[in-house]
């Protein structure tokens, strides 16, 4: 049997509810077998985008292609996709087995085939003991697995996940994250995963689509987004704790941070006097002064995690990540150094300024 | 100046009234044993219940065991189960003419027919109405109100409205004549009168049951329907496999409440047809009323016995409903 093409392409997709446009011309491609994560703050349109892909929401303008075929007018059931809902949306009156079998029965599949597929999925998801139970008799993690099982048995071209882990507790979430990545490796099917949690995006994705207010901000590999964010929003959204930002202006080829000093960067800077901002990740700031790019701040608070520590400075408002444990205490003045290569520079519109070619 | 004096006086008066129970309550708290104070509060209500509910029940039991036509209990001879025996004495229960109390059995069979037809049709109509009103249709708010409106009317008003429509020179016949047709004696033929009693009682009560079913429909989460759409379930199958099972607790409530109310049917029909023509629309409660209070010979004992039999049926239905409600509560929990 030849594998079904599970590639996806969105072209200038627009969604309007009445007069309100919530998705403004989104375009990107997903290759067959890729694990793509849509990430963005709540209200950025990522769930709407997902619902348009699976057919629960109509596409106002633009084109959605699955396996090269335009599916705008194809009903959800005939797109060959499976969706795992945030709320799981299990049928409460059906047993686990019936929940998984329902979609196959609708396709008119023979009983023996249904039994084989449900049995296989149940084995894969360790649900065999629970097949006769109702969803109410299951824990949150088990219900989540039933919802995934219901998707698996249909052998879809693309799996769609709508914030599937947000109803689980923190420990279970880490476990399910690994299970989903493992599932993707075994099935090799295209997966599209929506989340507002950038840690989930970074840890699971082959490719991340960062969305804000109905627009794609950046598409790329997780580390690409981390290392080379294309604008201030992506820079702030990816990475935890978030990037530190400081406002300044260009003076004589360096950046003056009013009241703090000057820093040199590798960015190609605009003409003198232009207001710009710089960003630097907490883990890239060094404690102690070096030859240049030195600042001094007063410690406002310290979070000791054992293996590493976060030091919050006041004036400038900066968080520093220090490996290991620290003896810094609130009130102490501490010298810090910004390595020139770790500084991101953004123009007044928040776009990243390119680096100088060496 | 006068204003402040007046308001002060009003304040004093208010305080005095509100403090009136102070002394008796202190006395009661001091003298009643712990945990008994509650009786003082439910007492008045309990007394009303005792006089108008519990006492009549006891009296009903007593009257069911006595005969004669005298209203005074002391003047009534004790006959034991004779009233029940005469009600139940029958050669063939399906043939009321072979029974000692043929009117009772006519009433029973009328009621059985009425209940079966009325409840089945009302359930079907209110389910369809609820399904339609649950969709995004134009004027949904108006239709929801319109279907519920008859529930707010008194049964007698309902009957008078329909009498005005259905009587010989009523609205419906006026329309018939206007359209060049012969007027029809809607309430004077046995079958048509029976049909209209079913229709009118459905019209009057349907809104209430529609509301219950509508609430049940809206309690079904939308994402379950989306999951069904992803599962490629055709509409009829969604209704049969998803909507209906999830609506079942509400359907059960409607079924049992509808049954209880249908068995109790009296006022609308009494005003609309008076039980006629003949005894074609005489239902059980009307038989009891006629036997005890409106016939020339007032057989209180027989009416009391019949009402106890009816109470037995209603008790069974109520127990089924309670059990259904409990099952609903536990499955949601």
User: Could you say which of A82, A93, A107 has the minimum Cβ distance to residue B230?
Assistant: A82
Token couple for B5: 């004096």
Q: Which residues of chain A have pLDDT under 70?
A: 1-3, 358
Distance from CA of A213 to the nearest CA of B (A): 24
Contact assignment for B229 to A102 by CB distance below 8 Å: no
Is A121 a domain residue?
yes
Alpha-helical (H) ranges within chain B are 2-19, 22-31, 37-49, 55-64, 82-88, 102-133, 140-148, 155-166, 171-178, 190-218, 222-230, 235-238, 244-263, 267-272, 284-289, 300-332
Question: pLDDT at position A141, please?
Answer: 86
Distance from CA of A217 to the nearest CA of B (A): 29
Residue with tokens 């068995």: B263
Q: B27 — phi, psi (to 5°)? A: -60, -45
**In terms of CA atoms, which chain A residue is nearest residue B226?**
A56
Is A356 a domain residue?
no
Alpha-carbon gap, residue A66 to A72, rounded angstroms: 10
**Between residues B33 and A103, which one has the greater pLDDT?**
A103
Contacting residues of B for A136, CB less than 8 Å apart = 331
Is A48 a domain residue?
yes
- Please indicate, yes or no, whether residues A25 and A166 belong to a single structural domain of this protein: yes
Contact assignment for A75 to B229 by CB distance below 8 Å: yes
- Please indicate, yes or no, whether residues A58 and A78 belong to a single structural domain of this protein: yes
User: Could you say which of A81, A87, A91 has the minimum Cβ distance to residue B242?
Assistant: A91
Contacts for A17 with CB less than 8 Å, ≥ 6 apart: none
Token couple for B237: 């199958």
Residue A104 sits at the vertex; the CA angle it makes with A98 and A109, to the nearest 5 degrees, is: 120
Q: Which domain holds residue B208?
A: 92-332
Distance from CA of B224 to the nearest CA of A (A): 5
Contacts for B111 with CB less than 8 Å, ≥ 6 apart: B263, B265, B283, B284
For the domain that residue A268 is a member of, what is the CATH number?
A: 2.40.50.140
Q: Which domain holds residue A94?
A: 8-236
Is B173 a domain residue?
yes
Contact assignment for A75 to B223 by CB distance below 8 Å: no
Contact assignment for B231 to A93 by CB distance below 8 Å: no
Alpha-carbon gap, residue A321 to A283, rounded angstroms: 5
Residue A150 near residue B228 (C-beta atoms within 8 A): no
- Please indicate, yes or no, whether residues A130 and A88 belong to a single structural domain of this protein: yes
- Please indicate, yes or no, whether residues A187 and A300 belong to a single structural domain of this protein: no
- Please indicate, yes or no, whether residues A107 and A225 belong to a single structural domain of this protein: yes
Is B271 a domain residue?
yes
**In terms of CA atoms, which chain B residue is nearest residue A90?**
B224
DSSP tag of A267? B
Contact assignment for A89 to B245 by CB distance below 8 Å: no
Question: pLDDT at position A236, please?
Answer: 92
- Please indicate, yes or no, whether residues A341 and A246 belong to a single structural domain of this protein: yes
**Mutation site for A-interface testing, chosen from B220, B226, B231, B237 by largest number of A Cβ within 10 Å:** B231
Residue A338, sorted as left (phi over 0), alpha (psi -120 to 50) or beta, turns out to be beta
Preceding omega of B200 cis (within 30 degrees of 0): no
Q: Domain end: A218, A236, A254, which one?
A: A236
Is A154 a domain residue?
yes
- Please indicate, yes or no, whether residues A100 and A209 belong to a single structural domain of this protein: yes
Question: pLDDT at position B327, please?
Answer: 66
Confidence of residue B317 (pLDDT cuts 50, 70, 90): confident
Distance from CA of A56 to the nearest CA of B (A): 7
Residue B329 has pLDDT above 60, yes or no: no
- Please indicate, yes or no, whether residues A211 and A298 belong to a single structural domain of this protein: no
**Between residues B128 and A168, which one has the greater pLDDT?**
B128
Contacts for A296 with CB less than 8 Å, ≥ 6 apart: A333, A334, A335, A336
Distance from CA of B239 to the nearest CA of A (A): 13
For B149-165, write each residue's pLDDT tens digit: 888 989 899 999 998 99
- Please indicate, yes or no, whether residues A226 and A123 belong to a single structural domain of this protein: yes
Alpha-carbon gap, residue B75 to B87, rounded angstroms: 23
Contact assignment for B221 to A90 by CB distance below 8 Å: no
Contacts for B327 with CB less than 8 Å, ≥ 6 apart: B249
Q: Domain end: A236, A270, A290, which one?
A: A236
- Please indicate, yes or no, whether residues A219 and A268 belong to a single structural domain of this protein: no
Q: Domain end: A202, A236, A270, which one?
A: A236
Domain count within chain A: 2
Is A171 a domain residue?
yes
Contacting residues of B for A103, CB less than 8 Å apart = 230-233
- Please indicate, yes or no, whether residues A251 and A229 belong to a single structural domain of this protein: no
Contact assignment for B224 to A91 by CB distance below 8 Å: yes
Question: pLDDT at position A135, please?
Answer: 92
Residue B251 has pLDDT above 80, yes or no: yes
Contacting residues of A for B245, CB less than 8 Å apart = 93
- Please indicate, yes or no, whether residues A190 and A260 belong to a single structural domain of this protein: no
Is A313 a domain residue?
yes
For the domain that residue B242 is a member of, what is the CATH number?
A: 1.10.3720.10
Is A351 a domain residue?
no
Is B265 a domain residue?
yes
Does the predicted interface ipTM exceed a cut of 0.85? no
**In terms of CA atoms, which chain A residue is nearest residue B331?**
A136
Question: pLDDT at position A294, please?
Answer: 85
Contact assignment for A106 to B245 by CB distance below 8 Å: no
Contacting residues of B for A91, CB less than 8 Å apart = 224, 227-228, 242
Alpha-carbon gap, residue B172 to B176, rounded angstroms: 6
Is B83 a domain residue?
no
**In terms of CA atoms, which chain B residue is nearest residue A54?**
B230
User: Could you say which of B221, B229, B237 has the minimum Cβ distance to residue A56?
Assistant: B229
Domain count within chain B: 1
Is A354 a domain residue?
no
Highest mean pLDDT pick, A252-266, B131-145, B236-250: B236-250
**Mutation site for B-interface testing, chosen from A74, A93, A98, A104 by largest number of B Cβ within 10 Å:** A93
Is B215 a domain residue?
yes
For the domain that residue A44 is a member of, what is the CATH number?
A: 3.40.50.300
Contact assignment for B231 to A103 by CB distance below 8 Å: yes
Residue B83 has pLDDT above 90, yes or no: no
Residue B331 has pLDDT above 80, yes or no: no
Distance from CA of A132 to the nearest CA of B (A): 16
């Amino acid at each position: 049997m030849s594998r079904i093409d599970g590639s996806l392409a969105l072209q200038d997709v627009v969604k309007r509810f009445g007069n309100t446009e919530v998705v403004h011309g989104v375009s990107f491609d997903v290759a067959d077998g890729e694990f793509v994560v849509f990430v963005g703050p709540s209200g950025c349109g990522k769930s709407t985008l997902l619902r348009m892909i699976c057919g629960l929401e109509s596409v106002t303008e633009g084109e959605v292609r699955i396996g090269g075929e335009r599916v705008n007018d194809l009903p959800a059931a005939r797109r060959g996709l499976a969706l795992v809902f945030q709320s799981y949306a299990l049928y409460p009156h059906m047993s686990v087995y019936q929940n998984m079998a329902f979609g196959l029965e609708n396709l008119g599949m023979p009983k023996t085939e249904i039994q084989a597929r449900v049995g296989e999925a149940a084995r894969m998801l360790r649900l065999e003991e629970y097949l006769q139970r109702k969803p109410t008799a299951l824990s949150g993690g088990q219900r989540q697995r039933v919802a995934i099982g219901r998707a698996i048995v249909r052998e879809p071209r693309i799996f769609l996940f709508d914030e599937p882990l947000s109803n689980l507790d923190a420990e279970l979430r880490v476990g399910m994250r690994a299970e989903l990545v493992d599932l993707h490796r075994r099935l090799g099917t295209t997966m599209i995963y929506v989340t507002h949690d950038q840690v989930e995006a970074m840890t699971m994705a082959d490719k991340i689509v960062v969305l804000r207010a109905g627009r794609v901000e950046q598409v790329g590999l997780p580390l690409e987004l981390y290392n080379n964010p294309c604008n201030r929003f992506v820079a702030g959204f990816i990475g935890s704790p978030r990037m530190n930002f400081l406002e300044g202006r260009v003076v004589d080829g360096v950046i003056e941070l009013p009241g703090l000093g000057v820093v040199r960067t590798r960015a190609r800077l605009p003409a003198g006097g232009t207001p710009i901002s710089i960003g630097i990740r907490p883990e890239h700031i060094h404690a102690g002064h070096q030859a240049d790019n030195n600042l001094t701040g007063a410690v406002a608070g310290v979070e000791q995690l054992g293996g590493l520590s976060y030091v919050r400075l006041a004036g400038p408002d900066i968080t520093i990540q220090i490996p290991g444990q620290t003896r810094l205490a609130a009130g102490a003045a501490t010298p810090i150094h910004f390595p020139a290569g770790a500084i991101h520079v953004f123009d007044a519109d928040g776009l990243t300024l390119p680096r100088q070619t060496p | 100046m006068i204003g402040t004096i007046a308001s002060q006086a009003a304040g004093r008066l208010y305080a005095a009234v509100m403090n009136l129970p102070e002394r008796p309550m202190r006395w009661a708290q001091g003298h009643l044993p712990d945990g008994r104070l509650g009786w003082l509060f439910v007492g008045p209500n309990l007394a009303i219940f005792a006089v108008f509910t519990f006492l009549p029940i006891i009296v009903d039991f007593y009257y069911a065991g006595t005969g004669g036509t005298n209203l005074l209990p002391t003047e009534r001879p004790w006959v034991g189960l004779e009233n029940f025996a005469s009600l139940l004495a029958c050669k063939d229960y399906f043939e009321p003419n072979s029974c000692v109390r043929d009117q009772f059995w006519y009433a029973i069979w009328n009621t059985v027919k009425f209940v079966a037809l009325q409840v089945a049709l009302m359930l079907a109509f209110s389910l369809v109405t609820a399904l339609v009103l649950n969709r995004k249709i134009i004027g949904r708010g108006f239709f929801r109100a319109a279907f519920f409106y008859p529930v707010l009317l008194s049964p007698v008003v309902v009957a008078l409205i329909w009498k005005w429509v259905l009587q010989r020179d009523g609205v419906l016949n006026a329309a018939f004549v206007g359209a060049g047709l012969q007027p029809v004696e809607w309430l004077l033929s046995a079958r048509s009168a029976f049909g209209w009693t079913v229709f009118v009682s459905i019209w009057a009560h349907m809104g209430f049951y529609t509301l219950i079913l509508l609430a049940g429909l809206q309690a079904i989460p939308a994402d379950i329907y989306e999951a069904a759409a992803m599962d490629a379930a055709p509409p009829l199958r969604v209704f049969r496999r998803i909507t209906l099972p999830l609506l079942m607790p509400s359907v059960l409530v409607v079924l049992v409440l509808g049954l209880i109310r249908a068995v109790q049917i009296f006022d609308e029909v009494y005003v609309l047809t008076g039980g006629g023509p003949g005894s074609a629309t005489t239902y059980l409660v009307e038989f009891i009323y006629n036997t005890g209070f409106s016939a020339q010979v007032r057989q209180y004992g027989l009416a009391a016995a019949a009402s106890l039999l009816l109470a037995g049926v209603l008790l069974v239905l109520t127990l089924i409903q309670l059990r259904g409600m409990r099952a609903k509560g536990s499955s949601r929990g």
